[in-house]
Amino acid sequence: MKRIFFILFLIMGTNAHAGKIDVIKHSRPGGLIDRMNEVIARSLGDDFGEFIKVENCAQAKKVIETSKGKVLTAWPTEREANGSPCNLDNSHLLSTFSNSPYHITYFKDNDSAGELDNFTKGTDIIVGVWDSDFWAPPQTEYLQSINPNIKVVRYKSKPFRTALASGEIDYKVVSFPGNDPVLAIMDGNGLNPEHRFSDMGYSMMFVGNFSYDVQEVYKTTAWQERKDQTHAQWMPHLSRDEQVATVEKMLLQISEVIN
Amino acid sequence: MIETGLVFLAGIVAGLFAGVLPGVGGVVIMTMAFPFLLQVDPVNILIFYVTMASIDQYFNGITAIVFGVPGASMNIPTQIEGHTLFRQGHGSDAITLSAVGSFIASLFAMLLVVAMLPVLWSVYGIWSSIMQSVLLGVASLVLVMISRNNKMFSIVLFCIGGVLGQVGFSEESGTAFGTLGTDLLFSGVPTLAVLTSLYVVPVLLKAYKAQSGSFDFPGVTFAGYKKAFLSMMKYYRTLIRSSFLGSLGGLVPGMSFGFSSLLAYVTEKSIRKAKGLYKVGDTHSLIACESANNAGVFTQLVPLLFLGIPITASEALIYNILEMRGLPVDIAWFQQTFTAVIGFFAVSSIIGLFLSAKYVNIIKLLNGVPMSTVYVFIFCVLLFALWQTGVSQYAGFNHLLIACLLLPVGVMLHKHDTTPLLFGFLLSEPLIDNLKRVLVIYF
């Protein structure tokens, strides 16, 4: 029954917006990925059809693989790691999309945390990271390459918001620093630039079921006015194949740490 | 000024819908109101939210008391005590006492925040992972111990609830648990499905079997309110205790006022049991959970207003809207809005107090309708709510389907107290998450 409704939904959607490009929404409303999909939709202008709203990445994957109409969406890179049920075939990876370097932040009232020496040489340093089995291991490797005494604690998103204010961690690693002061940015130029994960950020791919140049998105005011300014164009000067190869290499490196 | 008035009215209507319709919580309303909120003055966005949240609490409580349907998990204690009182013919007392208690608790929370302004920054020093673990652990343990089931059976139910809460694909770990290879369970088991099939249905079925006859509700009068106000002296210890616990609980990220209600309820029920005074339909326990709820509704704004940190999904949406509008979303701006926010929260609390009486008297229209018909109607409303929330969360019929699959289990358990199962479902994840952090930080 569910499949019948799903197919009917797809057919109805396709007929109503023939020729237009639909954008799949597959994540929490108001969140980063959702906002990026809004940007893509706005960048399409008159070519935009409608949002196809699905509950999770598995359903989004199904839409990309089976939809007769044209669909696009922003897709977190970690979903392309081996073993993820949302892993898409390479043919659906149109290009890389956006990347934001991780920021190492601290609480503004924590004076000692503002000292770089405290971070690099302190003996009892606790750093909070987002509770991701994919991103946390390479972050931990990088942080401990700077200071082996660093203890890394993983947080789910809500308790992570007040973790610094609670005083139980000294620093947190986030792609959005918000109002918290930034000690360092993991952009490959700051602390321990030689490390293989020194420029690792939170990134997204640009995926779909037809050929569409991501540069068309970057050119629009929707992209210029995006809220998430720390998310910049990701490898825009490389060809699509070079981008995919670079991403695959990164995923492989991270998989080595995880395993 | 006109816009503020209109936004305030919209907040009242939104709160009414959020309170009356099960599953339609603050996040759903805020998502629906998103395009409208993009157009209004930034301060009015906050006014809309506090008004909606405040009114929502009054109506959520009434739905739980009269119909036995907790609109959200935080209203389960209200349902347990309040609906029992309703079935015993004390529905009017239950409504007025909880409404007046809620109102006093709202004022308490506002005064507490104002008094604590100079030291608010240090509040989060208390809310470490270890403190959250202790509170969650104690609350879980007490919930199991005070259940009327055999203790071992309650522990098993709690664990089953915990396992049920883990079902689904985790983006964080990249792994799926208990999805049985189907897409249906990929996003986990929805809370409203568990609430409906494993809690409300057993409760309604038991009530249906135990009581025939017709719906009978004498209504609420202003004299009843006066009486409730005067009787509050009798409950002052309960009020202070639960308002304080509620205010503190509201500050917990990820749990906010839902946890406030539970914490205050568990505390009060334990105290009453220790004194040998507790039996289901206890007004002290009812006042405790309802007042804690309302106190928490206000204090959950503190992290947003004073730290610039949104701790609930609704607040995160507000934060996004403000940022999308290109506003300087900083602590200084939030602090400027504090006076307006506190003022509108106080007014909406007064309106909620009296509007709830007005609304509740409409229910008298049901007087004389057979109880069996009322319960069937409630069940149909819940099925509709499941479909509606499924659609609003991009899940189509999935939530409804999952609830139907769980239904036989609920029917099977209708002679037992399924509260431990429900709280195992709700509390196990934050409990395990906190304990994992405590282990890393302190050991």
**Tens of pLDDT, residues A120-143:** 999 989 999 999 989 999 999 999
Is B60 in contact with B72 (CB distance < 8 Å)? yes
Element (H, E) at A201: strand A201-208
| Number of C-beta neighbours around residue B282 at 10 A | 20
A181 and A225 within one domain: no
Q: How many domains is chain A built from?
A: 2
A169 and A43 within one domain: no
Task: Look at residues B353, B285, B365, B403 and name the one whose alpha carbon lies nearest to residue B22.
Answer: B403
- Closest CA of chain A from B428, distance in Å: 14
Is B52 in contact with B29 (CB distance < 8 Å)? yes
A155 and A95 within one domain: no
Report if residue A85 sits inside a domain. yes
Per-domain residue ranges of chain B: 2-442
Indicate the angle between helix axes B26-37 and B2-20, nearest 10 degrees: 150
B28 and A CB contact within 8 Å: no
pLDDT higher at B34 or B370: B370
**Distance from C-alpha of A58 to C-alpha of A65, rounded to nearest angstrom:** 11
Among partner residues A28, A58, A126, which is closest to B441 by beta-carbon distance? A126
Range of the domain at A45: 2-99+203-252
A167 and A114 within one domain: yes
ipTM: 0.79
- Closest CA of chain B from A147, distance in Å: 17
Mutation site, B32, B304, B305, B309, interface A, largest A CB count within 10 A = B309
B306: nearest CA partner in chain A: A165
CATH of residue A135's domain is 3.40.190.10
**Tens of pLDDT, residues B118-137:** 776 676 677 788 888 887 88
Report if residue A192 sits inside a domain. no
DSSP output for B327-353: ---SHHHHHHTHHHHHHHHHHHHHHHH
Instruction: Provide Rg for chain A, Cα atoms.
Output: 20
B299 and A CB contact within 8 Å: no
Given A133, A155, A186, the domain boundary residue is A186
**Distance from C-alpha of B170 to C-alpha of A41, rounded to nearest angstrom:** 27
Q: Label residue B9 by pLDDT band (50, 70, 90).
A: confident
Q: What is the pLDDT of residue A18?
A: 61
Mean pLDDT of chain B: 83
**Distance from C-alpha of B14 to C-alpha of B52, rounded to nearest angstrom:** 6
- Closest CA of chain A from B291, distance in Å: 24
Q: What is the pLDDT of residue A77?
A: 94
Partners of residue A167 in chain B, C-beta under 8 Å: 124-125, 128
Q: Label residue A149 by pLDDT band (50, 70, 90).
A: very high
B132 and A CB contact within 8 Å: yes
Task: Look at residues A59, A66, A55, A70 and name the one whose alpha carbon lies nearest to residue A23.
Answer: A70
Partners of residue A155 in chain B, C-beta under 8 Å: 437
A106 and A84 within one domain: no
Among partner residues B176, B253, B397, which is closest to A162 by beta-carbon distance? B253
CATH of residue A243's domain is 3.40.190.150
Given A161, A186, A211, the domain boundary residue is A186
A171 and A115 within one domain: yes
The Cα-based distances of B127 to A163, A258, B138 in angstroms read 9, 31, 15
* B174–A59 C-beta distance less than 8 A: no
A105 and A95 within one domain: no
Tell me the sheet residues that pair with B175. B170
- Closest CA of chain A from B380, distance in Å: 21
Report if residue A196 sits inside a domain. no
Question: Helices (DSSP H) in chain A: which residue ranges?
Answer: 2-16, 32-44, 57-66, 116-121, 136-146, 157-161, 163-166, 215-218, 221-224, 240-258
**Distance from C-alpha of B195 to C-alpha of B172, rounded to nearest angstrom:** 25
* A57–B174 C-beta distance less than 8 A: no
A242 and A228 within one domain: yes
Give percent of chain A with pLDDT exceeding 70.
Answer: 93
pTM above 0.90, yes or no: no
B432 and A CB contact within 8 Å: no
- Closest CA of chain A from B31, distance in Å: 8
* B324–A165 C-beta distance less than 8 A: no
A218 and A175 within one domain: no
A129 and A75 within one domain: no
A148 and A26 within one domain: no
Is B201 in contact with B407 (CB distance < 8 Å)? yes
A125 and A180 within one domain: yes
Residue found under tokens 């998990």: B73
Instruction: Copy the structure tokens of residue A131.
Output: 């509770």
* B125–A166 C-beta distance less than 8 A: yes
The Cα-based distances of A230 to A129, A171, A202, B157, B304 in angstroms read 18, 19, 10, 46, 22
Partners of residue A25 in chain B, C-beta under 8 Å: 394
